[in-house]
């Protein structure tokens, strides 16, 4: 028997029109009671199928991305690991996915049009056209029509946060922390004191010690384009190089882009005079690659306003991590909570301290009327004022 996830049963949830797997208590993002003839993408998914019913030759991963480490499931069960509330958690799901179009047995515009044609295989043609391949999925999909890891990862992530609506919007660092277990610091480009040191000690260590997300237009009115870069959207740094000519270059991915939409169109972009045919070989770059582009470090600092820098701890023996959750009585007014932690350092060493609250996406709609923001003060024992450091809000 194929596995059915009773805790996150999207099939039954849609059939009885509850929408618990789609919407939360606060926002009805996806309309499951709407007109079945509606073709609006925002109206909500119309049906559910298993992976083998949607894709002819499904494969979780084909080439790359550590494909050898993944074993294809045979009974429709998949497990993913995410980091939430200071701990790693396992999200186990079945392989049922939401589709854009309703089943043949339900009335729809597509079925009505096909029935105008006098042929015997209308139902088969309907399934092939509207319910087959990655393009038929309502949510995330892979470019490769046979790969399934993107929609299954998204489903497991939605389950870990309660529903699909909980994934709507957010900061780049939130997602990076959830999949890496790292700690994110928000930086403004204008606050970087030494840009040379930032390049050497941080940007060049991307994918090893740090991950970086970038955006622009966050603090202004800024939705529009700046030499191709779209404001209000997330970009990811995937590589950094310093070529023999002395140029510092960063390689970006635009996760939501298609073709050149949202891509940098200035110096070192595809087709620019700074990128002659021999340079891409050195940079391992292919012209015309969807949503991937190079930009100089100088232009990066000039065009982007905001960094989400995530420090990685996985597979790094130099770091030891510990945490403790506790409950405190919070006053309605701004007040200092007398909760202390004592840390003893026996030798000089880098230390990273983080004050966290529970991930409130899981509790959307259950919040009280107050928004609680936490800060802390760090000082030496018996020296409350001297060498006193305080955490600060990003903005």
Any idea how long the chain is? 395
Of 83, 161, 233, 306, catalytic: 233
Active site residue 23: no
Q: How far apart are CA 150 and CA 17, in angstroms?
A: 25
Task: Output DSSP code: residue 308.
Answer: E
- Residue 72 CB: number of other CB atoms within 10 A? 10
Q: End-to-end CA distance of the chain, in Å?
A: 53
Counting other chains too, the contacts that 284-289 makes at CB distance below 8 Å and 24 or more residues apart are 285/251
Of 23, 24, 254, 263, catalytic: 254
CB 387 within 8 A of CB 380: yes
Q: How far apart are CA 213 and CA 348, in angstroms?
A: 31
Active site residue 233: yes
CB 129 within 8 A of CB 99: no
Q: How far apart are CA 263 and CA 269, in angstroms?
A: 8
What DSSP string describes 147-211? Answer: B-HHHHHHHHHHHHTSSGGGGSS--HHHHHHHHH--EEEEEEGGG-S-HHHHHHHTGGGBTTTEE
Catalytic residues: 233, 254
């Amino acid at each position: 028997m194929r596995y059915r996830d009773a805790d996150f049963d999207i099939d039954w949830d849609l059939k009885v029109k509850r929408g618990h797997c789609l919407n939360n208590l606060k926002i009805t993002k996806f309309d499951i009671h709407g007109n079945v003839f509606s073709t609006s993408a925002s109206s909500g998914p119309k049906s559910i199928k298993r992976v083998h019913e949607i894709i002819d030759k499904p494969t979780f991963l084909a080439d790359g991305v550590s494909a050898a480490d993944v074993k294809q499931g045979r009974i429709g069960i998949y497990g993913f690991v995410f980091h939430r509330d200071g701990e790693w958690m396992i999200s186990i799901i079945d392989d049922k996915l939401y589709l854009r179009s309703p089943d043949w047995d339900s009335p729809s515009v597509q079925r009505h049009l096909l029935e105008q044609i006098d042929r015997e295989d209308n139902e088969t043609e309907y399934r092939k056209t509207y319910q087959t391949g990655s393009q038929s999925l309502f949510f995330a999909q892979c470019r490769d029509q046979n790969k399934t890891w993107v929609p299954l990862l998204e489903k497991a992530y939605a389950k870990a946060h309660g529903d699909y609506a909980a994934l709507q919007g957010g900061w780049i660092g939130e997602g990076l922390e959830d999949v890496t277990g790292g700690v994110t610091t928000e930086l403004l480009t204008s606050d970087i004191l030494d840009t040379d040191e930032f390049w050497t000690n941080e940007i060049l260590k991307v994918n090893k010690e740090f991950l970086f997300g970038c955006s622009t237009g966050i603090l202004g009115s800024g939705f529009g384009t700046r030499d191709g870069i779209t404001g209000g959207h997330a970009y990811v740094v995937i590589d950094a190089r310093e070529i023999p000519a002395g140029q510092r270059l960063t390689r970006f991915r635009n996760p939501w882009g298609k073709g050149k939409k949202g891509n940098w169109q200035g110096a070192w972009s595809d087709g620019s005079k700074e990128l002659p045919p021999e340079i891409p070989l050195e940079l391992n770059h292919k012209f015309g690659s969807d949503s991937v582009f190079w930009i100089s470090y100088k232009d990066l600092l000039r065009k982007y306003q905001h960094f989400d820098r995530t420090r990685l701890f996985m597979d790094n023996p130099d770091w030891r991590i510990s945490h403790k959750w506790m409950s405190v009585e919070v006053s309605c007014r701004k007040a200092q909570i007398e909760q202390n932690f004592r840390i003893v350092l026996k030798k000089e060493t880098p230390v990273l301290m983080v004050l966290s609250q529970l991930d409130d996406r899981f509790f959307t709609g259950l919040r009280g009327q107050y928004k609680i923001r936490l800060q802390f003060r760090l000082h030496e024992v018996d020296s409350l004022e001297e060498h006193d450091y305080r955490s600060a809000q990003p903005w």
